[in-house]
Chain A
């Protein structure tokens, strides 16, 4: 069998991307949980875990550089490594959004809740499902699945609109809610961005599989 060791390294690289992806999805989930349940300890944990995510991203980048410099990958192999280099940047940024949400949870502290959170957790859940599926599409080299996931970004955008409108009503009817409502809008914005980053990953999956660089995702925001 030719290039067994290269194949093994390429698998390891993709496994590491999955690990990073799952760290990011968990950070997003936990930041929302911390916000919803006012769990400051959990929020602090998400903030401190961000360093591990950054470290993992650099480790993966290092693996890519090593494969590029020692194996001279070509064609499909080259595209996968270049896709990984891009995907990890998106993942790392998504983790920063989760960290941002956790920091907002800390900022809100024990202020009285504005309202029970319903749509924000939905946005978080939708984004992390999209994220997990996008990485699954990457591993399976499934460009069609990637295209499908991109279209689902609209759902997150619609939830964002809804959250925004709802919070606007709160602020207009009672200006004392402005600070708390604005913080929640920041959270919604973080989640909207997170889902957008998933569509970037999907575009990279399509590139890795087909060799074509297409910008399919045109987000409202």
Chain B
């Protein structure tokens, strides 16, 4: 099967500082791929390169290719808005808009020109259900999204990402601000979501990578050191640097 996303020889620079070196990696459709590595290894930069979130950073420069279903998202003909619609993102800190729960989820579809109330209602309900939040908020859908707990806010952000019907969801440390119970809920949710979406998650938490993903990539100093089946990588890493990192002998 062709990969959902294929990156070929990505180099990435902030000014003169190179933060990614020749990263080549295939991301399988309908699977969860985890990217891990120490702080500053380039994993988040790599994640953001997958939907051109780095474009807004001054003096940032990328070379190489990011192919989404075979088309280069950095080519001149590509519509960035379309890319970000197809490749959604969830961030480390839950960041609901200061609006009602309903409007948080309806925000994306509205931006895409959908204003028909019943259509929006359907989308909001579907998205909140997919994000496993519907039952908890269906009776207070007009309350502020900011009134929810941290874990609920993160699921609201996932619902917001789902509302525009993405194909890929990028998650940058989605559980690092959450308690273990809320973390478990997000992990369960990811497991359900991968039936319909392709998920790429950056995590500092090795156990989380081991628990949730089928594929894991280990980054070090901007380089993809090892990439393979999660079960193999944690049992029998091929590279000594991976072994040192996952056994805590790093540094």
Interface residues of A, Cβ cutoff 8 Å to B: 2-3, 6, 72-79, 211
Contact = CB atoms under 8 A, between A and B. Distances in A.
Contacts of B250: 2
A3 B234 contact: no
Interface-central residue, A2, A3, A75, A79, by most chain B CB under 10 Å: A75
A74 B101 CA distance: 41
Interface of B: 206-207, 210, 234-237, 242-243, 246-251
B245 to A, nearest CB: 9
B207 A75 contact: no
Given A74-B234, A78-B235, A6 B243 contact: no
Given A72-B207, A74-B206, A79 B235 contact: yes
Contacts of A78: 234-235
24 contacts: A2-B248, A2-B251, A3-B247, A3-B248, A3-B249, A6-B248, A72-B206, A72-B207, A73-B247, A74-B206, A74-B234, A74-B235, A74-B246, A75-B234, A75-B235, A75-B237, A75-B246, A76-B243, A76-B247, A77-B247, A78-B234, A78-B235, A79-B235, A79-B236
Task: Give 3 nearest A-B pairs by CB, closest first.
Answer: A211-B236, A3-B248, A74-B246
Contacts of A72: 206-207
A214 to B, nearest CB: 13
Contacts of B234: 74-75, 78
B64 to A, nearest CB: 30
Contacts of B236: 75, 79, 211
Contacts of A76: 243, 247
Contacts, number: 34
Contacts of A3: 247-249
Contacts of A73: 247
A213 to B, nearest CB: 10
A211 B239 CA distance: 13
Contacts of A75: 234-237, 242-243, 246-247
A2 B249 contact: yes
A143 B242 CA distance: 21
Contacts of B249: 2-3
A78 B210 CA distance: 13
A3 B247 CA distance: 9
Nearest to B206: A74
Contacts of B210: 74
A69 to B, nearest CB: 12
Interface-central residue, A3, A6, A76, A79, by most chain B CB under 10 Å: A76
B149 to A, nearest CB: 27
A76 B246 CA distance: 9
Interface-central residue, B210, B236, B243, B247, by most chain A CB under 10 Å: B247
B239 to A, nearest CB: 11
A29 to B, nearest CB: 37
Nearest to A72: B207
Contacts of B247: 3, 73-77
B251 to A, nearest CB: 6
Contacts of B246: 74-75
Nearest to A77: B247
A79 B234 CA distance: 10
Interface-central residue, B242, B249, B250, by most chain A CB under 10 Å: B249
A9 B242 CA distance: 22
A76 to B, nearest CB: 6
Given A2-B248, A2-B249, A3-B248, 17 more contacts: A2-B251, A3-B247, A3-B249, A6-B248, A73-B247, A74-B210, A74-B234, A74-B235, A74-B246, A74-B247, A75-B237, A75-B242, A75-B243, A75-B246, A75-B247, A76-B247, A77-B247
